[in-house]
Amino acid sequence: MKIFYSETHRKHNPPFELFDGGLRAPYLENPDRMDRILNALRETDWAEIHEPSDFGLDPVLAAHDKEYVDFLASCWTEWLDSKPKDPSLFLPATFALRHHPQKPKSLLGRGGYYIMDLSACIVEGTYEAALASANCALSAAEFIIQSSASPSSSSFTNHPSSFALCRPPGHHAGKDYAGGYCFINNAAVAAQWLSSKGNVAVLDIDYHCGNGTQDIFYERNDVLTISLHADPDFEYPSYFGFANERGRDKGFGFHHNFPLPKGTDDGSYLATLDRALELIREYKPMHLVVSAGMDIYADDPLGTIKVSTEGIGEIGRRIASLKLPSVIVMEGGYNNEALGRNITTFLSAFV
């Protein structure tokens, strides 16, 4: 399997984040996550790790608002120019209610307009790392297109797969906002790029709702989006991910949320997954993008879903049974000790 990975992710390494109640804690979405996964991949006999290509900004701007991307690009320089008391990271203290939004001119005002929460911390290398992460997803998408078309790729005719080892993750980033450790929506950028080749399905199995992906494609019928996640009644992102959110206008019926209760185990999760996979089969997409969050694991520090490593492997097998050309995009997963084992167990189903 082709794995697309960039060392540039290390430039995004905030010194802390703020949890509920204002607790300052070490940044959970840290470079060690990638090291654990890389170590596990290198122990397999099927992982081929490659640098991503540079696709430029056009594919990113096809999924994201240009002024938002401009903000990400200039934020750090503007922050340092403002001579802040604590220059270690940028994080606003006031956040916009988007019911009647007006965008202010001040940096902190724009920060609160474009950032959803206290975990999307910006440091000097954040923008560069986010672009490299998106290029990993685009390179993985390009690979499955080239492999599907190549006569020499008969070993996986019609359903090649690839893995974008993305950091920062992306599925909480909407058209014009960052949140949940995410700045550019890697899976959505890849799905948008693939949509020019035919209909695409995006399946999000991260513990948290893929609110950003939902936002980007909510009025579209050429990209089916499905998210299985902890119920937003008790879990982040709180304001997205309810079952009655089905899409809007021509996109109505092309988005599906499956909120799950605390303690969901292997059997219950797989039963819900089967419903989601049936929707994908009915849609008959040409390509599949999987937002692969491993925070569904039973011992994840941010999760309440209780899926085992064996269950994660079965999730992979059932998704692979769709026999679709598939781009698998790394999202969450914060039990670093188990992260490499869980992702290689999942990916092995596609090999």
Q: Find residue 200's DSSP bridge partners.
A: 223, 287
Mean pLDDT of 303-320: 98
Contact, 259 vs 231, CB < 8 A? yes
Concatenated DSSP letters for 77-103?
HHHHHT--S-TT-B--S----TTS---
Span 2-53+128-348: which CATH code?
3.40.800.20
Span 139-163, pLDDT tens digits: 999 999 999 876 554 444 568 999 9
Contact, 25 vs 334, CB < 8 A? no
Confidence of residue 100 (pLDDT cuts 50, 70, 90): low
**Residue 101 pLDDT > 50, yes or no?**
yes
Confidence of residue 337 (pLDDT cuts 50, 70, 90): very high
Determine the pLDDT at residue 84.
Answer: 96
Q: Which of 172, 208, 255, 256 is catalytic?
A: 172
Confidence of residue 22 (pLDDT cuts 50, 70, 90): confident
Span 226-284, pLDDT tens digits: 999 999 999 999 999 999 999 999 999 999 999 999 999 999 999 999 999 999 999 99
Domain boundaries, the chain: 2-53+128-348
Determine the pLDDT at residue 28.
Answer: 97
Span 40-78, pLDDT tens digits: 999 999 999 999 999 999 999 999 999 999 999 999 999
**Residue 209 pLDDT > 70, yes or no?**
yes
The CB density around residue 26, as the number of other CB atoms within 10 Å, is 9
9 is catalytic: no
Span 282-309, pLDDT tens digits: 999 999 999 999 999 999 999 999 999 9
| Average pLDDT of every residue of the chain | 95
For 12-16, 52-56, 106-110, 205-209, which range has the lowest pLDDT when averaged over its residues? Answer: 106-110
- For the chain, what percent of residues have pLDDT higher than 90? 92
Question: What is the model's pTM?
Answer: 0.96
Contact, 180 vs 120, CB < 8 A? yes
What is the C-alpha separation between 89 and 106, in angstroms, rounded? Answer: 17
Mean pLDDT of 328-343: 98
Determine the pLDDT at residue 154.
Answer: 44
For 42-51, 95-104, 314-323, which range has the lowest pLDDT when averaged over its residues? Answer: 95-104
Determine the pLDDT at residue 21.
Answer: 87
- Angle subtended by helix axes 66-81 and 107-114, to nearest 10: 140
Determine the pLDDT at residue 155.
Answer: 46
